[in-house]
Structure 1
Amino acid sequence: MMTKIVVLFLAMLFLTGTSIAQVAINIDGTVAAASSMLHVQSTDKGMLIPRMTTAQRNLIASPATGLLVFDINTIGFWFFDGTSWINLSSGTPNTIQDADGNTKIQVEESANEDKVRFDMAGTEYFVMDKGRLLVNNNGKSVFIGEGAGPASTQANTFNSSVGYFSGSSNTTGVQNAAFGGSTLQSNTTGSYNTALGYTSLFLNTSGTNNAAVGASSLFFNTTGNENIAVGPLALFFNTTGSNNTSIGNHALYSNSEAHSNVGIGPKALYSNTTQSNLVAIGDSALYNNGTGATYTFESIYNTAIGSKSMYSNTTGYRNSAVGYHTLYSNTTGSEIAAFGTESLSHNTTGNYNTSSGSRALTGNTTGSNNTAMGNSSLAVNQTGSDNAAVGYKALYWSTGNGNVALGKKALYYNSTAHSNVAIGIEALYYNTVNSNLVAIGDSALYKNGLGASSSNDGVENTAVGSKALYDNTLGSGNTSIGFETMISNTSGGLNTVVGGSALSSNTTGSYNTAIGAYALGVNTTGYSNTGVGYRILMSNTTGGANTAIGQNAMYFNTSGIRNTANGYRSINSNTTGNENTGIGYQTLYNNTTGSNNTAIGFQAGYNGNNYSNSTSLGNGTNVTGSDMVRIGNASITSIGGQVGWTTVSDERFKKEVAADVPGLDFINQLKPVTYKLDLDAFAEFMHTPDSIRDKTSEAAKEAILQTGFIAQEVEQAALSSGYDFSGVDKPKNEGDYYGLRYAEFVVPLVKAVQELSSKNAELEEENLLLKKMNTEIIQRLEKLEKKF
């Protein structure tokens, strides 16, 4: 019924022409809109427009402007705009296309495809799919922007060009990516390049594997390969150089044909053109590198890391600089390594230097062959060469040559001194101009050279050990090895010390040798002493020319001079005694003030107390007084040699000669006896401890039946004869004992024999006289007999 009504009204419309103002077609009496010619109203029906194929639509003769049809081929409404058919809308999907349908936009080519397709001249070039824009071309390339990539052959090139004339000259180059106006604009055959930024890789033609990020980066590159430029004007002038990396504004700006360079930081390697194998990391690092270079070996193999590191370098080569302003002023200096802020910052032409640490060798200008490791080490040095400094401010003020300092502030004040070695914290701290010194240990030779007024003061010293020769100022030629050895020495010279705290109190004493811990530990001004052993000459202060070898030898000596002790605690108790000689364990042990004594052997002279000019030879041998010689201990059973003992008897050395030796009177009073020695009594008298007695030998000797005299009886006989007999060795003190010099008995015996001989001669003469008288009597008797 409704269809009939619609047809009726359409017929009426056409028949009535313009006689009717508005026509309303509805079933509810709705009035037609004033602006409409036909107002169709319905809530459950539609109006059907003529349906036809595209061919039928195109065959409509002289279509009126605004003519509307439904194309069943494109599935959409088309209207004629007076010139051509225009796709008004689509169904599922909708399509916008040109008159011949070969250029169009399709929304869902098939139901629920959810894609938008773009066709041009019958070829589908773009597809929008779920947030992606797919480009369909033979080369699988993407070009966006006026003139972008039009010269591309599009045959499997995989190029992407976005921007005004980006990649516009490309012909056979493949897999290039260009983003920005005129990026890769001149590229023809170059491949695998990436350009991001206005005019980046602008002149590149055949260069490959380049990456340029930043306005005008790699601008002049033509055939250079495998370069990386990140930053405005990075590698700007590079043409044929390859394998370069530049990151930063103007980094490697002037590079043209150099290869294998790395410049990271604003203006890093800015002036470099043809020099290769360089590394510059930091603002203006290696800024002037290559300026004025004329030889191929100049300005190459440099590495600079840090702001303005190697900024002024022109022709210097094989340098490494790491840190702010490192090697900043270097121009031609070569084969240098600098690490740390302002390290070697003033170096200009110095070569072969190595520095590590903030401001290390910062003042160096022309000095060469220096090594400085540690903050401000060798900081002031300008022209000094061949120095080595390791440690905070080591050799800080030094300008000299050939010095070695290892440790915090070692050789800190050294200025022009040369050939010094200081190892240890503040070793040779105050030394300035003195040379040929060796200090090894914390504060060794700390004050050396202070107050020196002569070139010979404080020179040629060697100190090894913490605070060895700490206070030495003027002393020269000293060798001190050990903890705090010669710590107090000021001007003492030519001393040799080995051992902890040896000669630690020495101030002005010279020519001493102390070997062993605490050897000559309190010596102050004593000179020419030699001590070898632990605590040797430990108490010596002013004593000189002593020689002591063995632990604690001459331990208590203070001012005694010219003593010689060899053995453990030899001459142990000596304080002021002079010119004593003790060789052996505890020889002359108890001597304190006695002088000119000699003891050789185990505990020889042990009990001697302040004797002088005595000699004890042999194990445990002791004298009991001065001017005495003892050979052998109580166990000795034989003393001998190839000839007899010689006693000086030259008449030239005798005076007050008198023939008053008694003979028979003295001899006849002597009482020869046999006896056995009581060595226990002897040991008790001599205060000899059992620990050093040889009981076996003593027992053997005690078993021997001795023949001799009793000294006291001999003394009494001599007194009775009015004879001051030297054969009796009388006690010199309470600790001495009697002895006999049996050789001395020869003299009174000779006198006795002479007396006997004289009496015998008288008797012989008397006998002869008697014989004569007897003969005469016999003769007379015979004559008388004949008469009778």
Structure 2
Amino acid sequence: MTTAQRIAIASPAEGLMVFDNDEGSFFYFDGTVWVELEGSVTRDNYKLVKSAADLADELAAGGGTEYLFTTDFMYEINGTITLAAPINLNGAYLVGEDTNEDILVRVGGTIFEGDTGGSIRGLTLVASGPGAAVFNLTGSTGTERFVFRDSVVANSTSVGTISSYGLVFISIVQYVSNAAGITFDDIHQLLLNSEGWASDNTGIYQTFTGDFDIIAKQGGFSKVVGATAAIDITGVSALTSGNISNVNFYGGGNYVNGSSPYTGYDFSNKWDVDSPGIPVETDGVASGNFYFNGTLTTGFSQFISNGTPVEVQGTGGFDAPRLFRFIASEGNNKLTYDGIKPRKISSKCIDVYSCR
């Protein structure tokens, strides 16, 4: 009944309970006044989803080929939902209360597709079967925002791809028994926090390609045993700033497929890397050396006096091995600092033939 009809009830019995359609809530009469039943109010822009049938309106809105969610709507998943089509988040919020109980499943297809942003929290996601993937998201303007947190991705054919977003923030997500990882492509700001990649994942856990402003991967772990690699940055074409810190790489497998101008290292000078299991690569540990590899007794043509600066010359050649964020030039006889951050540089000559 309406609010007006409820109020118009003549001499309601004490304890009488009615549902007020205008208020969207139950009321009972306490003998004197009508009292709204505590806990009966549901929030606006909210839908509880206990089966795929509860998303019939969204499937119709998506033309039968996708579940088109309503922008700024909250969808709460309760139980295991097997999807017949992908979800287009369309700026909606998708939540669960318990990753052990609240599960989205898609067999032979993608769970999330579309070109808009949105938020996912508190769910387990499973995309199994040929061609299946959890994500296939490509932003339409490059400004979209996507947040994924407090969730589990398990037993999936592929975690998938996220491309051309303004912001992607993934936090406290566990990856278990997935056959292939995720590719991030052309993300303006990519923030990865406290992710856990178990050793039963295969393929490359995380691949980065294209242009990025910021890549920040902090905390969590990657246990690599049979997988191809934990991360692959060989496809990064442009980066303003990259950071990998306090991520525990272990398990004995291949941790990084890298691309670095410095022999024996994986990252360019755009990165600050300080995590257990992989070499520290920051400007703070930049180093380099050069040495004369000619005949010591006849190779030098100039006199070197103590305290007088002079270019080291010789009829032989110079080698400059073990360079990290230094560049050798002028016949390997000159070292130039190649880091981004200003730092103090100290030098030492072991003898007149070898300096660093």
- Normalised to the residue count of structure 2, the TM-score between the two structures is 0.34
Q: Pick the structure with more helix per residue.
A: 1
Q: Pick the structure with more strand per residue.
A: 2
- Normalised to the residue count of structure 1, the TM-score between the two structures is 0.19
Question: Could you say which structure has the larger radius of gyration?
Answer: 1
